[in-house]
Structure 1
Amino acid sequence: MIWLIAAFFVTALLYASVGFGGGSTYNALLALSGVDYRVLPLIALSCNIVVVAGSTFRFARAGVTPWRGALLLTAIAAPAAFLGGLTPIGEGTFLGVLGASLVLTALTMFLPVACTAGEPHPASRLLPVAAAPLGYLAGLVGVGGGIFLAPLLHLARWNEARAIAATASLFILVNSLFGLLGQVLKGGEGRLVAAVDAGLPLIIAVAIGGQIGSLLALRFLPQRWIRWGTALLTGWVGFRLML
């Protein structure tokens, strides 16, 4: 259990530094530990909420959150995340869908961007349309969805890197809350109790790691590092899950 707590701490630190909660990697670590896959989303989403609540607050306090655009994307995605949480899914499908989607998402980060610096890509107008399916996918596999959204925002030159990290953080927070509600309604009280029993030490670990990571994102990490860190983390986790 000690190694798992340490892994959750490091994961929260790294993911919070790019505006994520780490739900995808929490799922992978728990799966490797032999935890019932039906409990995984409950633990991962709870950890997500703890990590990105602090990150969202820090980003907002620093004045880097683009509220109008961030709230629009989040409001569209949240009901879909709730529906995704309610949807039954098998173990093989769960890991396969999560892994494949993360690898594909990471690859988009390495595509060339045609627009000049600071100029949004015309495709950025379609981002609200993408928010609903991203929210559904997030609720289905027990993540916040920011790891899917952020690469699209970077690719479309939607905003500067820290604003994208702040948007992803808010997106994850709200989707995790709605997705967790759907998962609880689907699994019942017994599964929630099992998740709390297994996940409490992990939640404490990610609370500490997430605070450190969000502080690094605001004060020390260059914007280019945030972008490439997003891609590398996404690709590594997706590949690991597919294996």
Structure 2
Amino acid sequence: MGHWEIFVFFLIIAFIYSSVGFGGGSSYLAVLAMYSFPYQEIRLTALICNVIVVVGAVFIYIRNKQTDWKKILPLAIVSVPMAYLGAALKISQETFFLILGGTLIIAALLLWVKTETKNGEEPQEYTKISLFKNGFLGGGIGFLSGLVGIGGGIFLSPLLHLMKWDTPRKIAAASGVFILVNSVSGIFGQLSKLSADMNYFRILSLCFAVFIGGQIGSRMSLKWNPLVIKRMTAVLVLVAGINVLIKYW
């Protein structure tokens, strides 16, 4: 596999993000967008890596009973088929990269905004969200997630915080489940039209990298500052988004 440095990048991203309960999908896309790989390979790689890293976090959320299924299911049920449709939609490489560039820039802005409460404090009042609003929100983000190749948590989490959807822990759990189901759905959508020029050895190598990084990170109690990680990622994602738009505009 050429560009062996990508293996190291993915391992480090998975290590850091898994240690604080994140998936790192936007960072995988940002790194891959810097290279001239087939766009279908970029989407599929990011989705598979998302699943590998986030599945462990979702298991922990469920085991610790942090998942409010009554509120999560309306988001997920609508998002799954929409993520599949987004992934299965046939678009040109130029269109994909233009959408990706714009998506990364928006994601960078959302990452930069501090939405969590200070010192672990939880809001005392939560906005009552209707099933329709949850379904509409999940479906819209799900479609964009499948189209671009992310799990969608990078959009869902800050929006839920701004909406005072629930406690930070339950929002993190909801985002984890959302990322997992959308990534799996997006993968199935991708499988319906695989390109012949994909480098499967490269995909497997990067999956192995995030597996190692994710396993190590999830087993270490590191005192990373989530806000610092988010803002460092925001810079990376913003640079990648601008670079993609300049290249394909």
- TMscore range, shorter length: 0.7 to 0.9
Deviation at 1:139, TM superposition (A): 0.4
CA contact (8 A) 1:53 1:173 kept: yes
Matches within 5 A, 1:72-111: 72-108=74-110, 110=113
Which runs of 5 or more structure 1 residues have no equivalent in the other structure? none
The reply on whether 1:199 has 2:203 as its aligned counterpart is yes
Which of the numbers 152, 157, 170 marks the counterpart of 1:150? 157
Deviation at 1:86, TM superposition (A): 0.8
CA contact (8 A) 2:126 2:165 kept: yes
**Structure 2 SS opposite 1:38:** helix
1: distance between equivalents of 2:53 and 2:63? 16
Matches within 5 A, 1:38-77: 38-77=40-79
Instruction: Please tell me the residue identity of whatever aligns with 2:125.
Output: E
1: distance between equivalents of 2:114 and 2:127? 13
The reply on whether 1:138 has 2:140 as its aligned counterpart is no
2: distance between equivalents of 1:85 and 1:56? 23
Using a 3 Å threshold, how does the CA distance of structure 1 residues 107 and 26 change in structure 2: closer, same or farther?
Answer: closer
Query: What does the per-residue CA deviation read over 1:170-228, in whole Å, with 9 as the maximum and x for residues that have no partner?
Result: 1111111111111110226x46xx35322112111111222344456xx6659xx4466
Which of the numbers 159, 166, 177 marks the counterpart of 2:173? 166
* Residue equivalent to 1:181: 188
**Structure 2 SS opposite 1:158:** coil
How many percent identity over aligned positions?
37
Give the ranges of 4+ consecutive aligned residues of structure 1 lying more than 6 Å apart after TM superposition.
none
2: distance between equivalents of 1:221 and 1:95? 35
Query: Which deviates the most, 9-18 or 141-150?
Result: 9-18
Using a 3 Å threshold, how does the CA distance of structure 1 residues 233 and 121 change in structure 2: closer, same or farther?
Answer: farther
Using a 3 Å threshold, how does the CA distance of structure 1 residues 104 and 28 change in structure 2: closer, same or farther?
Answer: closer
Paired residue total: 233
Query: What does the per-residue CA deviation read over 1:131-186, in whole Å, with 9 as the maximum and x for residues that have no partner?
Result: 10110000001111111111111111212223222211111111111111111102
CA contact (8 A) 1:161 1:227 kept: no
Instruction: Please tell me the residue identity of whatever aligns with 1:118.
Output: Q
Instruction: Please tell me the residue identity of whatever aligns with 1:166.
Output: A
**Structure 1 SS opposite 2:192:** helix
CA contact (8 A) 1:52 1:173 kept: yes
Using a 3 Å threshold, how does the CA distance of structure 1 residues 41 and 108 change in structure 2: closer, same or farther?
Answer: closer
Query: Which deviates the most, 231-240 or 196-205?
Result: 231-240
